[in-house]
Amino acid sequence: MRILVLGSGAREHAIITSLLSEPTAHEITAAPGNAGIAAVVPVVALDPTRGDVVSAYALDNDIELVVIGPEAPLVAGVADALRQRGIAVFGPGKAAAALEGSKTFAKRIMDDAGVPTGKATRAGTIDEAVAAIDEYGAPYVVKADGLAAGKGVLVTEDRDAAVAHADFWLAHGAVLVEEFLSGQEVSLFLLSDGHTVLPLSPAQDYKRVFDGDQGPNTGGMGAYSPLPWLPEGFVDEVINTVAIPTVRQLASERTPFIGLLYCGLIVTPKGVKVIEFNARFGDPETQVVLPRLKTPLSQLLFAAASGELASQPRPEFSDDVAVTVVLASEGYPEEPVTGRPITGLSDVHDVTIAHAATALVDGTYVATGGRVLSVVATGHTFSEARARVYLALDAIHLEGGHYRRDIGLRVSE
Ligand code: AMP
Ligand code: GLY
Protein backbone atom coordinates (compact mmCIF):
# COMPACT_ATOMS: atom_id res chain seq x y z
CA MET A 1 0.00 0.00 0.00
CA ARG A 2 1.12 3.59 -0.57
CA ILE A 3 0.86 5.20 2.85
CA LEU A 4 1.48 8.80 3.91
CA VAL A 5 2.17 9.33 7.62
CA LEU A 6 1.71 12.90 8.89
CA GLY A 7 3.78 14.07 11.85
CA SER A 8 7.34 14.31 13.09
CA GLY A 9 7.51 12.68 16.50
CA ALA A 10 8.58 9.42 18.10
CA ARG A 11 4.99 8.24 17.77
CA GLU A 12 5.17 8.59 13.98
CA HIS A 13 8.58 6.91 13.92
CA ALA A 14 7.08 4.00 15.89
CA ILE A 15 4.10 3.79 13.53
CA ILE A 16 6.46 3.69 10.54
CA THR A 17 8.68 1.07 12.21
CA SER A 18 5.60 -1.07 12.74
CA LEU A 19 4.42 -0.65 9.14
CA LEU A 20 7.90 -1.51 7.86
CA SER A 21 7.99 -4.71 9.96
CA GLU A 22 4.97 -6.21 8.20
CA PRO A 23 5.51 -9.18 5.89
CA THR A 24 4.02 -7.15 3.01
CA ALA A 25 6.19 -4.27 1.84
CA HIS A 26 4.60 -0.83 1.70
CA GLU A 27 5.63 2.42 0.08
CA ILE A 28 5.69 4.80 3.01
CA THR A 29 6.30 8.55 2.98
CA ALA A 30 6.34 10.83 6.02
CA ALA A 31 5.49 14.52 6.15
CA PRO A 32 7.41 16.25 7.51
CA GLY A 33 9.11 13.45 9.52
CA ASN A 34 12.38 13.92 11.41
CA ALA A 35 15.99 12.83 11.05
CA GLY A 36 15.32 9.32 12.38
CA ILE A 37 12.32 8.83 10.12
CA ALA A 38 14.28 10.16 7.13
CA ALA A 39 16.82 7.39 7.68
CA VAL A 40 14.16 4.74 6.93
CA VAL A 41 11.58 6.25 4.54
CA PRO A 42 11.37 9.25 2.19
CA VAL A 43 10.19 12.44 3.85
CA VAL A 44 8.49 15.42 2.25
CA ALA A 45 8.59 18.93 3.63
CA LEU A 46 4.94 19.85 3.62
CA ASP A 47 2.85 21.47 6.31
CA PRO A 48 0.79 18.64 7.82
CA THR A 49 -1.85 21.06 9.12
CA ARG A 50 -2.79 22.31 5.60
CA GLY A 51 -5.66 20.15 4.30
CA ASP A 52 -5.34 21.54 0.77
CA VAL A 53 -1.59 20.88 0.62
CA VAL A 54 -1.83 17.37 2.06
CA SER A 55 -4.75 16.44 -0.23
CA ALA A 56 -2.94 17.71 -3.34
CA TYR A 57 0.15 15.69 -2.41
CA ALA A 58 -1.91 12.57 -1.70
CA LEU A 59 -3.77 12.82 -5.02
CA ASP A 60 -0.62 13.53 -7.03
CA ASN A 61 1.15 10.55 -5.50
CA ASP A 62 -1.70 8.02 -5.53
CA ILE A 63 -1.63 7.68 -1.76
CA GLU A 64 -4.00 4.92 -0.64
CA LEU A 65 -4.02 5.66 3.08
CA VAL A 66 -3.12 8.75 5.11
CA VAL A 67 -2.32 8.18 8.78
CA ILE A 68 -2.53 11.34 10.88
CA GLY A 69 -0.21 11.18 13.89
CA PRO A 70 -0.53 14.43 15.88
CA GLU A 71 -3.55 16.37 17.09
CA ALA A 72 -2.85 19.65 15.28
CA PRO A 73 -3.78 18.41 11.75
CA LEU A 74 -6.87 16.69 13.17
CA VAL A 75 -8.11 19.81 14.91
CA ALA A 76 -7.31 21.79 11.74
CA GLY A 77 -9.66 19.54 9.73
CA VAL A 78 -7.06 17.82 7.52
CA ALA A 79 -8.98 14.51 7.71
CA ASP A 80 -12.12 16.27 6.41
CA ALA A 81 -10.22 17.71 3.44
CA LEU A 82 -8.84 14.28 2.55
CA ARG A 83 -12.18 12.47 2.94
CA GLN A 84 -13.93 15.05 0.78
CA ARG A 85 -11.55 14.04 -2.00
CA GLY A 86 -12.18 10.33 -1.50
CA ILE A 87 -8.81 9.55 0.13
CA ALA A 88 -8.83 6.92 2.91
CA VAL A 89 -7.62 8.55 6.12
CA PHE A 90 -7.01 7.24 9.61
CA GLY A 91 -7.90 10.14 11.88
CA PRO A 92 -11.12 11.90 12.86
CA GLY A 93 -12.52 15.00 11.21
CA LYS A 94 -12.39 18.35 12.94
CA ALA A 95 -15.75 17.96 14.70
CA ALA A 96 -14.94 14.57 16.26
CA ALA A 97 -11.36 15.63 17.05
CA ALA A 98 -12.88 18.20 19.42
CA LEU A 99 -12.97 15.26 21.82
CA GLU A 100 -9.31 16.13 22.33
CA GLY A 101 -9.33 19.76 21.18
CA SER A 102 -11.93 20.92 23.68
CA LYS A 103 -12.14 19.47 27.16
CA THR A 104 -15.59 21.01 27.67
CA PHE A 105 -16.82 19.31 24.46
CA ALA A 106 -15.41 15.99 25.73
CA LYS A 107 -17.19 16.41 29.07
CA ARG A 108 -20.47 17.21 27.30
CA ILE A 109 -20.18 14.09 25.11
CA MET A 110 -19.38 11.96 28.17
CA ASP A 111 -22.36 13.39 30.06
CA ASP A 112 -24.71 12.73 27.16
CA ALA A 113 -23.31 9.24 26.60
CA GLY A 114 -23.34 8.33 30.31
CA VAL A 115 -19.58 7.71 30.36
CA PRO A 116 -18.02 7.67 33.86
CA THR A 117 -15.76 10.68 34.46
CA GLY A 118 -14.91 13.10 37.26
CA LYS A 119 -17.10 16.09 38.03
CA ALA A 120 -16.01 19.30 36.35
CA THR A 121 -17.05 22.93 36.13
CA ARG A 122 -16.40 25.18 33.16
CA ALA A 123 -15.24 28.66 34.13
CA GLY A 124 -15.16 31.63 31.78
CA THR A 125 -14.08 34.21 34.37
CA ILE A 126 -11.61 34.20 37.25
CA ASP A 127 -14.47 34.59 39.76
CA GLU A 128 -16.15 31.46 38.43
CA ALA A 129 -12.81 29.61 38.47
CA VAL A 130 -12.05 30.61 42.08
CA ALA A 131 -15.54 29.58 43.19
CA ALA A 132 -15.08 26.15 41.55
CA ILE A 133 -11.56 25.77 42.99
CA ASP A 134 -12.92 26.35 46.49
CA GLU A 135 -15.93 24.14 45.89
CA TYR A 136 -13.84 21.10 44.87
CA GLY A 137 -11.04 21.74 47.36
CA ALA A 138 -7.47 20.36 47.36
CA PRO A 139 -5.80 18.72 45.54
CA TYR A 140 -6.83 21.20 42.86
CA VAL A 141 -7.17 20.20 39.20
CA VAL A 142 -7.31 23.10 36.71
CA LYS A 143 -7.22 22.55 32.94
CA ALA A 144 -7.12 24.78 29.88
CA ASP A 145 -10.11 23.99 27.66
CA GLY A 146 -8.21 23.90 24.35
CA LEU A 147 -5.00 22.29 23.09
CA ALA A 148 -2.05 23.33 25.23
CA ALA A 149 0.77 20.99 24.19
CA GLY A 150 0.74 19.17 27.51
CA LYS A 151 1.02 22.39 29.54
CA GLY A 152 -2.66 23.07 30.19
CA VAL A 153 -3.19 20.78 33.18
CA LEU A 154 -2.17 21.64 36.73
CA VAL A 155 -2.72 19.29 39.65
CA THR A 156 -1.59 20.95 42.87
CA GLU A 157 -2.11 21.30 46.61
CA ASP A 158 -1.29 24.99 46.31
CA ARG A 159 -4.45 27.09 45.99
CA ASP A 160 -2.56 30.19 44.83
CA ALA A 161 -0.91 28.18 42.04
CA ALA A 162 -4.31 26.78 41.01
CA VAL A 163 -5.79 30.28 40.82
CA ALA A 164 -2.75 31.60 38.91
CA HIS A 165 -3.00 28.72 36.41
CA ALA A 166 -6.69 29.46 35.85
CA ASP A 167 -5.91 33.17 35.43
CA PHE A 168 -3.17 32.46 32.87
CA TRP A 169 -5.25 30.09 30.72
CA LEU A 170 -8.40 32.25 30.89
CA ALA A 171 -6.55 34.65 28.63
CA HIS A 172 -6.62 31.86 25.98
CA GLY A 173 -10.21 30.70 26.53
CA ALA A 174 -12.21 28.86 29.16
CA VAL A 175 -10.79 26.63 31.89
CA LEU A 176 -12.15 23.51 33.52
CA VAL A 177 -11.92 22.94 37.25
CA GLU A 178 -12.21 19.26 38.11
CA GLU A 179 -12.69 16.91 40.97
CA PHE A 180 -9.36 15.21 41.86
CA LEU A 181 -9.34 11.51 41.04
CA SER A 182 -6.89 9.17 42.70
CA GLY A 183 -5.71 5.83 41.33
CA GLN A 184 -3.51 4.13 38.74
CA GLU A 185 -3.68 5.61 35.26
CA VAL A 186 -4.16 3.53 32.12
CA SER A 187 -3.96 4.50 28.47
CA LEU A 188 -6.16 2.31 26.30
CA PHE A 189 -6.19 2.84 22.53
CA LEU A 190 -9.18 1.79 20.48
CA LEU A 191 -9.37 1.76 16.72
CA SER A 192 -12.71 3.11 15.54
CA ASP A 193 -14.35 3.20 12.13
CA GLY A 194 -17.16 5.39 13.42
CA HIS A 195 -19.28 2.46 14.62
CA THR A 196 -17.15 -0.52 15.60
CA VAL A 197 -14.20 -0.37 17.99
CA LEU A 198 -11.25 -2.73 18.43
CA PRO A 199 -8.90 -2.44 21.42
CA LEU A 200 -5.13 -2.41 21.41
CA SER A 201 -3.18 -3.52 24.47
CA PRO A 202 -3.22 -1.21 27.53
CA ALA A 203 -0.16 0.84 28.45
CA GLN A 204 0.87 3.12 31.29
CA ASP A 205 2.44 6.50 30.69
CA TYR A 206 4.61 8.46 33.16
CA LYS A 207 3.51 12.07 32.89
CA ARG A 208 5.67 13.80 35.50
CA VAL A 209 9.18 14.82 34.58
CA PHE A 210 11.10 13.34 37.52
CA ASP A 211 11.40 9.95 39.23
CA GLY A 212 8.74 9.14 41.77
CA ASP A 213 6.18 11.23 39.84
CA GLN A 214 7.75 14.50 40.95
CA GLY A 215 7.90 17.78 39.04
CA PRO A 216 5.61 19.22 36.39
CA ASN A 217 3.50 17.32 33.88
CA THR A 218 5.07 16.61 30.51
CA GLY A 219 3.92 15.04 27.25
CA GLY A 220 5.09 11.71 28.72
CA MET A 221 8.50 10.51 29.92
CA GLY A 222 8.15 6.76 29.44
CA ALA A 223 5.71 3.89 29.26
CA TYR A 224 5.30 0.16 29.53
CA SER A 225 2.86 -2.41 28.22
CA PRO A 226 1.02 -4.63 29.07
CA LEU A 227 -0.28 -3.86 32.57
CA PRO A 228 -0.13 -7.11 34.53
CA TRP A 229 -1.98 -5.60 37.50
CA LEU A 230 -5.18 -4.79 35.62
CA PRO A 231 -8.28 -6.66 36.76
CA GLU A 232 -9.60 -9.31 34.41
CA GLY A 233 -12.24 -7.94 32.07
CA PHE A 234 -10.83 -4.41 32.25
CA VAL A 235 -10.57 -3.90 28.49
CA ASP A 236 -14.13 -5.13 27.91
CA GLU A 237 -15.39 -2.88 30.69
CA VAL A 238 -13.80 0.12 28.96
CA ILE A 239 -15.18 -0.93 25.59
CA ASN A 240 -18.69 -1.22 26.99
CA THR A 241 -18.81 1.69 29.40
CA VAL A 242 -16.56 4.19 27.62
CA ALA A 243 -15.64 3.52 24.01
CA ILE A 244 -18.89 2.26 22.50
CA PRO A 245 -21.10 4.88 24.20
CA THR A 246 -18.70 7.64 23.10
CA VAL A 247 -18.46 6.45 19.50
CA ARG A 248 -22.26 6.03 19.33
CA GLN A 249 -22.84 9.49 20.76
CA LEU A 250 -20.54 11.05 18.17
CA ALA A 251 -22.14 9.04 15.34
CA SER A 252 -25.61 10.15 16.49
CA GLU A 253 -24.43 13.77 16.18
CA ARG A 254 -23.25 13.09 12.61
CA THR A 255 -19.62 13.50 13.63
CA PRO A 256 -18.37 9.90 13.43
CA PHE A 257 -15.05 9.17 15.09
CA ILE A 258 -12.79 7.45 12.56
CA GLY A 259 -9.32 6.95 13.92
CA LEU A 260 -7.75 6.25 17.26
CA LEU A 261 -9.79 6.86 20.39
CA TYR A 262 -7.24 7.30 23.17
CA CYS A 263 -8.92 6.68 26.50
CA GLY A 264 -6.93 8.19 29.36
CA LEU A 265 -8.40 6.33 32.32
CA ILE A 266 -8.01 6.18 36.05
CA VAL A 267 -8.83 3.11 38.10
CA THR A 268 -10.55 4.53 41.19
CA PRO A 269 -12.12 2.66 44.10
CA LYS A 270 -15.45 3.57 42.49
CA GLY A 271 -14.56 2.01 39.12
CA VAL A 272 -12.89 3.15 35.93
CA LYS A 273 -13.26 6.81 35.01
CA VAL A 274 -12.12 8.84 32.04
CA ILE A 275 -9.52 11.53 32.75
CA GLU A 276 -9.22 12.62 29.14
CA PHE A 277 -9.74 11.56 25.59
CA ASN A 278 -7.26 12.09 22.82
CA ALA A 279 -8.08 11.70 19.15
CA ARG A 280 -4.79 10.03 18.14
CA PHE A 281 -2.14 7.55 19.22
CA GLY A 282 -0.45 8.51 22.49
CA ASP A 283 3.22 9.36 22.72
CA PRO A 284 5.17 7.54 24.24
CA GLU A 285 2.59 4.73 24.73
CA THR A 286 2.59 3.92 21.00
CA GLN A 287 6.27 3.04 21.27
CA VAL A 288 5.39 0.15 23.63
CA VAL A 289 2.04 -0.93 22.18
CA LEU A 290 3.01 -1.32 18.52
CA PRO A 291 6.14 -3.48 18.97
CA ARG A 292 3.87 -6.04 20.67
CA LEU A 293 1.20 -5.96 17.94
CA LYS A 294 1.13 -9.13 15.86
CA THR A 295 -1.72 -8.18 13.50
CA PRO A 296 -0.48 -6.07 10.56
CA LEU A 297 -1.01 -2.43 11.53
CA SER A 298 -1.76 -1.30 7.96
CA GLN A 299 -4.65 -3.78 7.76
CA LEU A 300 -6.22 -2.39 10.93
CA LEU A 301 -5.73 1.27 10.01
CA PHE A 302 -7.10 0.76 6.51
CA ALA A 303 -10.12 -1.18 7.80
CA ALA A 304 -10.86 1.63 10.27
CA ALA A 305 -10.46 4.28 7.57
CA SER A 306 -12.82 2.38 5.26
CA GLY A 307 -15.60 1.60 7.75
CA GLU A 308 -14.76 -2.10 7.81
CA LEU A 309 -13.53 -2.82 11.31
CA ALA A 310 -16.46 -5.19 11.96
CA SER A 311 -14.85 -7.67 9.56
CA GLN A 312 -11.52 -7.62 11.45
CA PRO A 313 -10.59 -9.94 14.32
CA ARG A 314 -9.42 -8.39 17.59
CA PRO A 315 -5.79 -7.31 17.23
CA GLU A 316 -3.36 -9.86 18.66
CA PHE A 317 -0.39 -9.06 20.87
CA SER A 318 2.80 -10.88 21.71
CA ASP A 319 3.35 -12.14 25.27
CA ASP A 320 6.57 -10.14 25.35
CA VAL A 321 6.51 -6.92 27.32
CA ALA A 322 7.81 -3.54 26.18
CA VAL A 323 9.34 -0.56 27.97
CA THR A 324 10.23 2.85 26.60
CA VAL A 325 12.11 5.72 28.20
CA VAL A 326 12.18 9.24 26.78
CA LEU A 327 15.45 11.16 26.63
CA ALA A 328 14.66 14.84 27.13
CA SER A 329 16.74 17.97 26.64
CA GLU A 330 18.03 20.02 29.55
CA GLY A 331 15.30 22.36 30.75
CA TYR A 332 12.39 20.27 29.47
CA PRO A 333 9.47 20.78 29.97
CA GLU A 334 9.87 24.49 30.78
CA GLU A 335 12.56 25.72 28.42
CA PRO A 336 14.39 22.97 26.57
CA VAL A 337 17.92 23.75 25.41
CA THR A 338 18.26 22.73 21.76
CA GLY A 339 21.02 22.38 19.17
CA ARG A 340 23.23 20.01 21.16
CA PRO A 341 24.73 16.89 19.58
CA ILE A 342 23.49 13.41 20.42
CA THR A 343 26.22 10.79 20.27
CA GLY A 344 26.46 7.06 20.88
CA LEU A 345 23.36 6.14 18.90
CA SER A 346 25.30 3.61 16.86
CA ASP A 347 26.62 1.90 20.01
CA VAL A 348 23.28 0.59 21.26
CA HIS A 349 22.01 -2.98 20.95
CA ASP A 350 18.74 -4.85 21.42
CA VAL A 351 16.67 -1.65 21.41
CA THR A 352 14.92 0.46 18.85
CA ILE A 353 15.21 4.21 18.86
CA ALA A 354 12.19 6.29 17.95
CA HIS A 355 13.38 9.77 17.08
CA ALA A 356 11.30 12.78 18.07
CA ALA A 357 13.13 16.12 18.04
CA THR A 358 16.26 15.38 16.06
CA ALA A 359 17.95 16.79 12.98
CA LEU A 360 21.04 15.68 11.13
CA VAL A 361 23.65 18.46 10.92
CA ASP A 362 26.92 17.66 9.12
CA GLY A 363 26.47 13.95 9.79
CA THR A 364 25.70 14.38 13.51
CA TYR A 365 22.30 14.12 15.14
CA VAL A 366 21.34 17.20 17.16
CA ALA A 367 18.45 17.73 19.54
CA THR A 368 15.86 20.18 18.24
CA GLY A 369 13.28 20.12 21.02
CA GLY A 370 12.21 18.89 24.44
CA ARG A 371 11.48 15.21 24.02
CA VAL A 372 14.40 14.11 21.85
CA LEU A 373 13.97 10.38 21.36
CA SER A 374 12.46 7.26 22.90
CA VAL A 375 14.52 4.16 23.59
CA VAL A 376 12.33 1.05 23.26
CA ALA A 377 13.02 -2.54 24.27
CA THR A 378 10.97 -5.69 24.46
CA GLY A 379 11.72 -8.73 26.59
CA HIS A 380 10.20 -11.73 28.30
CA THR A 381 10.11 -9.79 31.55
CA PHE A 382 10.01 -6.14 32.51
CA SER A 383 13.40 -6.50 34.24
CA GLU A 384 14.91 -7.71 30.98
CA ALA A 385 13.33 -4.95 28.88
CA ARG A 386 14.30 -2.28 31.43
CA ALA A 387 17.89 -3.52 31.54
CA ARG A 388 18.13 -3.20 27.75
CA VAL A 389 16.68 0.31 27.71
CA TYR A 390 18.89 1.65 30.49
CA LEU A 391 22.04 0.03 29.10
CA ALA A 392 21.35 1.80 25.80
CA LEU A 393 20.70 5.11 27.57
CA ASP A 394 24.07 4.78 29.31
CA ALA A 395 25.68 4.69 25.86
CA ILE A 396 23.79 7.68 24.45
CA HIS A 397 25.12 11.12 25.26
CA LEU A 398 23.31 14.44 25.15
CA GLU A 399 24.77 17.22 27.25
CA GLY A 400 22.27 18.15 29.98
CA GLY A 401 19.91 15.44 28.75
CA HIS A 402 17.72 13.74 31.35
CA TYR A 403 15.42 10.79 31.67
CA ARG A 404 13.48 8.96 34.36
CA ARG A 405 15.11 5.92 35.89
CA ASP A 406 11.96 4.37 37.32
CA ILE A 407 9.97 3.57 34.17
CA GLY A 408 8.35 0.15 34.58
CA LEU A 409 10.00 -0.32 37.96
CA ARG A 410 6.72 -0.93 39.72
CA VAL A 411 6.02 -4.01 37.58
CA SER A 412 9.52 -5.43 37.51
CA GLU A 413 10.10 -6.20 41.18
P1 AMP B 1 -4.74 15.31 30.96
O2 AMP B 1 -3.95 16.11 29.99
O3 AMP B 1 -6.15 15.75 31.11
O4 AMP B 1 -4.57 13.82 30.78
O5 AMP B 1 -4.02 15.52 32.35
C6 AMP B 1 -2.64 15.27 32.52
C7 AMP B 1 -2.42 14.50 33.78
O8 AMP B 1 -2.91 15.23 34.91
C9 AMP B 1 -3.16 13.17 33.85
O10 AMP B 1 -2.50 12.14 33.22
C11 AMP B 1 -3.25 12.95 35.34
O12 AMP B 1 -2.03 12.46 35.85
C13 AMP B 1 -3.44 14.34 35.87
N14 AMP B 1 -4.88 14.61 36.01
C15 AMP B 1 -5.71 15.15 35.09
N16 AMP B 1 -6.97 15.23 35.55
C17 AMP B 1 -6.94 14.74 36.81
C18 AMP B 1 -7.95 14.55 37.81
N19 AMP B 1 -9.23 14.92 37.62
N20 AMP B 1 -7.55 13.99 38.96
C21 AMP B 1 -6.27 13.63 39.16
N22 AMP B 1 -5.28 13.79 38.27
C23 AMP B 1 -5.61 14.34 37.10
N1 GLY C 1 1.22 10.37 26.48
C2 GLY C 1 0.10 11.22 26.52
C3 GLY C 1 -0.38 11.69 25.23
O4 GLY C 1 0.00 11.19 24.19
O5 GLY C 1 -1.19 12.58 25.23
Q: Give me the mean pLDDT over the 172-193 stretch.
A: 94
Instruction: Enter the pTM of the model.
Output: 0.96
Answer whether 178 contacts ligand 2 (Cβ < 6 A). no
- Mean pLDDT, range 68-77, rounded to an integer: 97
* Rg of the chain (C-alpha set): 20
**Ligand 2: does its nearest atom lie under 6 Å from the Cβ of 285?**
yes
Residue with CA closest to ligand 1 atom 15? 275
Q: What is the pLDDT of residue 148?
A: 73
| CA 108 to the chain's CA centroid | 22
Ligand nearest to C-alpha 144: 1
Asked if 221 and 206 touch (Cβ cutoff 8 Å), the reply is: yes
Q: For position 246, what pLDDT does the model report?
A: 98
**Residue nearest (by alpha carbon) to ligand 2 atom 5:** 282
* Minimum-distance ligand 2 atom for the alpha carbon of 278: 5
pLDDT in tens, 216-240: 889 999 999 999 999 999 999 999 9
In this prediction, residue 363 carries a pLDDT of 92
Whether ligand 2 lies within 6 angstroms of the CB of 202 is answered as no
pLDDT in tens, 9-43: 999 999 999 999 999 999 999 999 999 999 999 99
Asked if residue 150 has pLDDT above 70, the reply is: no
Q: Which amino acid is at 306?
A: S
Q: Give yes or no for residue 70 CB within 6 A of ligand 2.
A: no
Distance 1 CA to ligand 2 centre (A): 28
The residue to mutate among 104, 110, 153, having the most atoms of ligand 1 within 8 angstroms of its beta carbon, is 153
Instruction: Name the band, by pLDDT with cuts 50, 70 and 90, for residue 97.
Output: very high
Q: At 46, is the pLDDT very low, low, confident or very high (cuts 50, 70, 90)? A: very high
Going by alpha carbons, the residue nearest to atom 3 of ligand 2 is: 282
Euclidean distance between CA atoms 148 and 219, whole angstroms:
10
Is residue 147 predicted with pLDDT exceeding 80? no
